[in-house]
Amino acid sequence: MKQFTKRFMLLSVIIMTGLYAMAQSFTLKGKVTDEDGNALELATVSCVEQATVTMTNLKGEFQVKLQSADSVVVKFSMIGYKPRTRVLRNPKTTQTLLIQLHGLDELNEVVITQKRR
């Protein structure tokens, strides 16, 4: 009987620890598009505080598991677009975001000339 009680207590502790760990994380998913609503593939989605980075797929969609906190700062960026930051307050379970990145102002033309020695 004592053996059964010990095993039951150990199993209970393991289950409670797992539930507590699950309650402290959440899943962030969504889609990143440009100004025209076109999906941005390979855009970066990062949470610097948690050292977590992922990229969007060919459809502009992403999914990442993050740790819950009072606030979680997530940055969206891609070359040629202005980066965008979102602050999530007390995120729980699953959060879904639709992010639109705006293009940078056009760069001036660059002319390369060759000089011989």
Q: Give residue-wise pLDDT tens across range 101-117.
A: 999 877 678 888 888 77
Name the strand (E) or helix (H) holding 72. strand 71-77
The burial of 77, by beta-carbon neighbours within 10 Å (0-12 exposed, 13-18 middle, 19 or more buried), is given as middle
Task: Give pLDDT tens digits for 27-83.
Answer: 999 999 999 999 999 999 999 899 999 999 999 999 999 999 899 999 999 999 999
Sheet containing 25-33: give its strands across: 61-67, 25-33, 94-100
Rounded to an integer, what distance in angstroms lies between the CA atom of residue 24 and that of residue 90? 10
CATH number of 26-100: 2.60.40.1120
Verdict on whether the full-model pTM lies above 0.85: no
